[in-house]
Structure 1
């Protein structure tokens, strides 16, 4: 995708980013040694110092490519996070079994039965009560057999596949994990759109039960596209942990992050300036923090997905001059924009 004029990515297509803390934990839990880490990062265009930088970020496309390379090399779609390998083709086989299901609930039940045949690390329980549905991963008594990230990603598969089937993100009323909060907590808030709780008896997500009764239409062609992009299309979804912050982010994205002022945002959202600031404060955010995070993700998106000149990117994001953009980008990622672009293999257009 190459930007021209005022073209901007939509809130759905804008690539999200994951922190170096998430990538560190991912490599650690999958047992990936340092030489392999370095080789994989070079293959997918992740800067060498991203992993060690406290401000390092990777795009969802970079992570998805990394994931696919590892899954192919290991013939394990969950990369050793479960006690037994999940053979290559599991998602494909499961996909063909669910696209013919009459409802989302039946589709997810079919996928849960497939997992039961392949893994005894946990049992997937799908239930409903008083208008609420839950998908729980019940582990057997005794020591945990799989990695915590294995539980996170398995739960995310169910959320991502269900969202893909119905064509929209499934809002989650609660997400409970049976382990302590990890160092990459903010990344989990980006992956799971709902309130998160830790040290719970069981890993569970809860949502509106009516979503299980929805009919859907997915073709083999849809499935092939979904599989070719995995894990991206079941992994990443916008967070609603902070609904007002999310509205502000969408407003800035649609109205222009480089031009909209705080009064413009409040007016667009039909709020007074005081109400907007108060509600953001309740979510632990400010307009500046939302704006800076969006600028960061847009900058990374344009540097990795387009050949736009850096000066044009800086201007489009509302920076008065290139040096101020360079300083901001270094604070976000730990490297300069040009170095970030070179490491991802995008041709440098200007200095």
Structure 2
């Protein structure tokens, strides 16, 4: 599979500060219908979002796309990566990252600290600029994924906090951060994790950094968690069995537990089986239609729908458009020879 889908909210939020004509042109170039952004529940291909971010940064010359107090010059992230990859371990790398971004005048002060068993990366508002939620959501996402990449293993986050009110996006945050503990209306925005990861050696080098920087946005969006959450276990069970449309009893038996126990485990992660199944079906549908050249009818069967019409209705609920309309905007990808 390719990069997972992303919420239309993040596409809309990322590009909201662009001039209208620039925004329209970049959306069209990347096959994203502007009207799909009107549906907050719609989802869009991760590759398209990553390409849109890259193109918008190149167009504006600003890595924060107008969300900062001042433009952030192109090459800022690459320079930070080149400085931090030479660190001895993750703790040193995170301190270098925070120190680097304190030198850039974007109205945000970054800090990294460890206390007791917990390490925390902070974003503090250092100006009166009316910052969007997106700048905190996106930068915490990028830094947490970058930390995973540095040591080549997932780092379970203990908590993610935001300096704004709860906007009802917890389900999306769970997908972004693979975390279930969120706090809002905090003095700073931050994420925390176990201090023991700070001693992990850097697993990357100049060659892997070069490949990483070729399309950082895609590398971050496409990065998949390997944590042993129950959400992850359920996804691993469902993925090869979607055509059978397994229910809670089937999944529970496959995982060696009682259905009530599985429901309880998922509830503690803020999830239900149907929600996980819908998101997985959405991601797989995009992959089958666009990259594996499946017909709408075959895709419906492989996802466990008894009728193509039922699949089309579900797809429109997920993506904001029908499968056939989606393919008109996103021609099937043909690999280069």
Equivalent-residue separation in structure 1 for 2:222 and 2:135 (angstroms): 16
CA RMSD after TM alignment: 2.5
Aligned pair in 2 of structure 1 residues 347, 216: CA closer, same or farther (>3 Å)? closer
Matches within 5 A, 1:7-86: 9=1, 14-28=2-16, 31-86=17-72
State the TM-score, normalizing by the size of structure 2: 0.89
Aligned pair in 2 of structure 1 residues 184, 274: CA closer, same or farther (>3 Å)? closer
Aligned length: 332
Contact 2:152 2:203 in 1 (8 A): no
SS at 2:201's partner residue? coil
Equivalent-residue separation in structure 1 for 2:255 and 2:218 (angstroms): 30
Equivalent-residue separation in structure 1 for 2:96 and 2:45 (angstroms): 32
SS at 2:80's partner residue? helix
Contact 2:156 2:227 in 1 (8 A): no
Matches within 5 A, 1:152-171: 152-171=137-156
SS at 1:307's partner residue? coil
Segments of structure 2 that go 5 or more residues without pairing to the other structure are: none
Aligned counterpart, 1:88 = 74
Matches within 5 A, 1:45-194: 45-119=31-105, 121-140=107-126, 143-144=128-129, 146-182=131-167, 184-194=169-179
Equivalent-residue separation in structure 1 for 2:217 and 2:315 (angstroms): 27
SS at 2:107's partner residue? coil
SS at 1:175's partner residue? strand
Contact 2:111 2:122 in 1 (8 A): yes
Contact 2:72 2:106 in 1 (8 A): no
State the TM-score, normalizing by the size of structure 1: 0.86
Equivalent-residue separation in structure 1 for 2:142 and 2:307 (angstroms): 43
Tell me, yes or no, if structure 1 residue 216 matches structure 2 residue 197. no
SS at 1:49's partner residue? helix
